[in-house]
């Protein structure tokens, strides 16, 4: 699979489409599921408004060929970014423009699973009292 | 978007079905509704391709939110926080909560209500004009109370002693007992600091 050195799309174009709403952008079912679980975004409209409002501290991750492209004869790229959400969290978004349907697709929208960046206050508390829970096998 | 076509592959060979889903607002009940799901026969993609469920989702969420307003206000009343005190502490106009009860509240009012519902001690902090020292002590007090609850729950799970002593039992290393004592002393110190010592009172903290 080819990995590009630069983003495949102008991010501003994607945001402009999100501002237009669901007529121009579709959030794939898997991305919608994690958007609900990780960000409490209940509808596709919520996801697009979230993006249109501006993702903070955006960092480009990579650009690759679309793995699940149903029509592999047409080359379609996927851009992936991470973004800041609040003080302790980062999110991950991947999107593409489908030339066949003339629709933008949000392929991923979830927490960025960076094990170093998680906020674990209760783990720190557990370290203070290492014997708690041992008796019950917790 | 191409009309009535799959947003992933462009096929028009689609199926539509109703799927029962549930949604809830914070502090609200779960509300069921019939969402619409499309399936593409060509690429297998599933989802609400034409966003037909959005209004249904928002309507169910609104219903849950309306119930949640009463739930939060009733729970605050249960903590002996009156509507009048709520309004006074936050410097809100009189009858604000009565309007909220009639579901006339903005997104920011709803956010405020949820915050106070989650951390009722915020009202006392607001009542003291957000004085930093008092705010810090309130936070610490609430954290200690929560910690004590967690320890009590831990004891309840781990202890096998008879009922008559289960309310005072501590776990084997006595940590719960020690922490409870520390928490009590901190609370006593806070009370003493606020009111000052009474004449003749023996202060031993």
List the single range of B76-80, B140-144, B157-161, B183-187 with lowest mean pLDDT: B157-161
Tell me the C-alpha to C-alpha distance, in Å, between residue B87 and each of A138, B70, B80, B81, B107: 44, 16, 14, 10, 17
Nearest by CB to B5, which of A43, A101, A131? A101
pLDDT for the residue numbered B168: 45
List the single range of B80-84, B113-117, B124-128, B159-163 with lowest mean pLDDT: B159-163
- What is the number of other CB atoms lying within 10 angstroms of the CB of residue A30? 16
SS3 A81: strand
What is the residue whose two structure tokens read 């609104």?
Answer: B62
Q: Are strands A103-111 and A89-98 parallel, antiparallel or unpaired?
A: antiparallel
pLDDT for the residue numbered A4: 77
The interaxial angle of helices B175-195 and B132-158, nearest 10 deg, is 150
Tell me the C-alpha to C-alpha distance, in Å, between residue B204 and each of B185, B187, B188, B189: 9, 13, 10, 10
Find the helix or strand (DSSP H, E) in which A60 lies.
strand A56-65
Residue A109 pLDDT exceeds 50: yes
pLDDT band at residue A107 under the 50/70/90 scheme: very high
Give the pLDDT mean for B171-197: 66
Find the helix or strand (DSSP H, E) in which B135 lies.
helix B132-158
pLDDT band at residue B202 under the 50/70/90 scheme: low
Interface confidence, given as ipTM, is 0.76
Contact list in B for residue A131 (CB cut-off 8 A) is 173, 175
Contact A101 B6 (CB under 8 A): yes
pLDDT, tens only, A19-35: 999 999 999 999 999 99
Contact list in A for residue B175 (CB cut-off 8 A) is 129, 131-132
CA A28 – CA B7 distance, rounded (Å): 9
Give the pLDDT mean for A106-117: 80
CA A38 – CA A8 distance, rounded (Å): 26
Residue B44 pLDDT exceeds 90: yes
What is the residue whose two structure tokens read 């023996």?
Answer: B202
Judge contact between A113 and A85, C-beta under 8 A.
no
pLDDT for the residue numbered A16: 97
How many A×B Cβ pairs under 8 Å?
68
Nearest by CB to A43, which of B5, B43, B58? B58
Query: Smallest CA–CA separation between A117 and chain B, in Å?
Result: 24
A24 half-sphere exposure, CB direction, 13 A CA radius: 12
List the single range of A50-64, B17-31, B59-73, B144-158 with lowest mean pLDDT: B144-158
Residue A123 pLDDT exceeds 60: no
Residue B157 pLDDT exceeds 60: no
Q: What phi, psi does A107 have (nearest 5°)?
A: -85, -35
| Contacts (Cβ under 8 Å, ≥6 apart) of A88 | A117, A118, A119
């Amino acid at each position: 699979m080819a990995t590009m050195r630069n983003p495949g799309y102008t991010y501003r174009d994607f945001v402009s489409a999100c501002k237009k709403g669901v007529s121009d952008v579709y959030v794939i079912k898997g991305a919608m599921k994690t958007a609900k679980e990780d960000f409490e975004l209940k509808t596709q409209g919520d996801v697009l408004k979230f993006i249109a409002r501006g993702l903070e501290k955006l960092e480009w991750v990579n650009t690759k060929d679309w793995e699940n492209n149903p029509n592999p004869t047409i080359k379609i790229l996927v851009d992936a970014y991470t973004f800041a959400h609040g003080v302790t969290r980062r999110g991950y978004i991947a999107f593409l423009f489908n030339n066949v349907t003339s629709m933008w697709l949000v392929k991923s929208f979830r927490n960025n699973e960076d094990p170093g960046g998680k906020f674990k206050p209760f783990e720190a508390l557990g370290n203070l009292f290492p014997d708690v829970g041992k008796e019950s096998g917790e | 978007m191409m009309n009535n076509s799959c947003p992933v592959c462009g096929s028009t060979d689609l199926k539509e079905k109703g799927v029962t889903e549930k949604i809830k607002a914070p502090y609200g009940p779960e509300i069921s509704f019939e969402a619409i799901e499309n399936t593409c026969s060509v690429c297998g993609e599933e989802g609400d391709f034409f966003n037909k469920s959005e209004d249904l989702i928002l309507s169910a969420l609104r219903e849950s939110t309306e119930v949640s307003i009463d739930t939060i206000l009733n729970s605050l009343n249960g903590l002996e926080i009156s509507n009048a005190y709520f309004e006074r502490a936050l410097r809100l106009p009189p009858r604000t909560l009565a309007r909220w009860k009639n579901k006339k509240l903005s997104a920011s009012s709803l956010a405020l209500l949820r915050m106070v519902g989650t951390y009722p001690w915020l009202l006392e902090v607001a009542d003291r004009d957000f004085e930093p020292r008092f705010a810090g002590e309130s936070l610490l007090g609430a954290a200690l109370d929560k910690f004590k609850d967690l320890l009590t729950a831990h004891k309840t799970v781990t202890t096998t002693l008879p009922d008559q002593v289960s309310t005072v039992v501590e776990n084997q290393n006595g940590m719960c007992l020690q922490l409870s004592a520390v928490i009590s002393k901190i609370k006593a110190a806070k009370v003493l600091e606020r009111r000052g010592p009474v004449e003749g009172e023996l202060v031993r903290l």
